[in-house]
Amino acid sequence: MITLDLTLPDAHYPIHIGRHLLAQVDLLKPHLPIPSVAIVTNTTIAPLYLELLEQALRSAGVACRSIVLPDGESYKTWDTLNLIFDALLAGNCERKTTLIALGGGVIGDMTGFAAACYQRGAPFIQIPTTLLAQVDSSVGGKTAINHPLGKNMIGAFYQPRAVIADMALLDTLPDRELSAGLAEVIKYGLLGDAAFLGWLESHIEQLRARDPDSLQYAVKRCCEMKADIVGQDEKESGVRALLNLGHTFGHAIEAGLGYGEWLHGEAVAAGMVLAAATSHELGWLSEADVERVVRLIERAGLPVKAPNLGPAEWLRHMGHDKKVEQGKLRFVLLKQLGQAVISSDVGPEILQRVLTGGHITA
């Protein structure tokens, strides 16, 4: 097991990475103010792992309540969030009852947001069950639900007490979900670590084949980078925004198609290609650089062409991006591979070329 630490001005918590950690209650108990938890999961994960976690906790004297939600991005809504509150209130759960998120990014985001709101702040722990959640969404305390006009537009910054990344949980992850997680892994290489990007190019087949050592190294490196960035900028007022590489385009794809049509990682993958194409239009990346990005994303089993939303629809959805300032779009782009920057210098003619170019489906 590898343990990383994320240190913030008002919070400090461990990120445990290893295999078969789910039943190791000694990793959880130090973070429970009282021996009572509410496990939030979904209909896909519950049959696989909920009983194992419940039995481990109960054998250690911890009272458990479980809340099983429907699975999918389309359920990341107020109505589903209220199901968590309904269960907590019906169970007379106290402010010190710890919420445990057992699931992917949707469950992690909603559980964290519920914890931030319940009695004005209850503790919570992340146990991510997807690669995407292990390398990205479970770390850093960004919690939210979606709105029809924009993804993750309603939420809170609220840090977990611990993150338990059990690599064994990836054994049951569908191949499509694994590839979606690889999009976020590739993102880290592109935005800030050219050496890691090169390592990914050499190991992408091993990652898709679920080689345990390769997966653990990728999760470790991504969590190291995110912990460092979040430690510098918890509330995304500066450098943390770089973690949104590909997301301005990607979130527009998700909203434009209807949440759940494309997986988040698939939309981010196509979004990163569009970000690379925009960087090329600005003279920062060469055609060879863009092709290198496209090739790696293809090898990860991900889409490299975005759906044709139409320029007006693209702009409408990107206008709801959280990086918009004073009505002006800001993009995370690439000065070079391994170095991301935030830019508001993308003129309408450049954006028009990118959104009607070869990286958009006909």
Residue with tokens 């070869």: 358
Which tens digits make up the pLDDT trace of 110-161? 999 999 999 999 999 999 999 999 999 999 999 999 998 888 889 999 999 9
Concerning whether 20 is annotated as a catalytic residue, the answer is: no
Concerning whether 295 is annotated as a catalytic residue, the answer is: no
CB 205 within 8 A of CB 218: no
Which pLDDT score, from 0 to 100, does residue 237 have?
84
Per annotation, catalytic residue among 16, 65, 76, 142: 142
Which pLDDT score, from 0 to 100, does residue 362 have?
60
C-alpha span between 285 and 335 (Å, rounded):
7
CB 186 within 8 A of CB 297: yes
Per annotation, catalytic residue among 65, 161, 187, 226: 226
Concerning whether 12 is annotated as a catalytic residue, the answer is: no
Q: Residue 305, class by beta-carbon neighbours within 10 Å (0-12 exposed, 13-18 middle, 19+ buried)?
A: middle
Which tens digits make up the pLDDT trace of 21-44? 999 999 999 999 999 999 999 999
Which CATH code, of 2.60.15.10, 3.40.50.1970, 3.90.1170.50, 3.40.50.150, is assigned to 2-172?
3.40.50.1970
Entry pTM: 0.94
Concerning whether 320 is annotated as a catalytic residue, the answer is: no
> Across all residues in the chain, what is the average pLDDT?
95
Concerning whether 147 is annotated as a catalytic residue, the answer is: no
Portions of the chain given CATH number 1.20.1090.10: 175-355
Tell me how crowded residue 241 is: count the other CB atoms within 10 A of its CB.
18
Sheet order of strands, 124-128 included = 2-8, 11-18, 163-166, 124-128, 98-103, 36-42, 63-69
Concerning whether 251 is annotated as a catalytic residue, the answer is: yes
Which tens digits make up the pLDDT trace of 260-313? 899 999 999 999 999 999 999 999 999 999 999 999 999 999 999 999 998 889
Using only C-alpha atoms, the chain has a radius of gyration, in whole angstroms, of: 20
Concerning whether 280 is annotated as a catalytic residue, the answer is: no
Portions of the chain given CATH number 3.40.50.1970: 2-172
Concerning whether 325 is annotated as a catalytic residue, the answer is: no
Concerning whether 184 is annotated as a catalytic residue, the answer is: yes
Q: Which of 36-40, 56-60, 168-172, 317-321 has the lowest mean pLDDT?
A: 317-321
Per annotation, catalytic residue among 236, 254, 266, 281: 236
Concerning whether 261 is annotated as a catalytic residue, the answer is: no
CATH 1.20.1090.10 is the classification of domain 175-355: yes
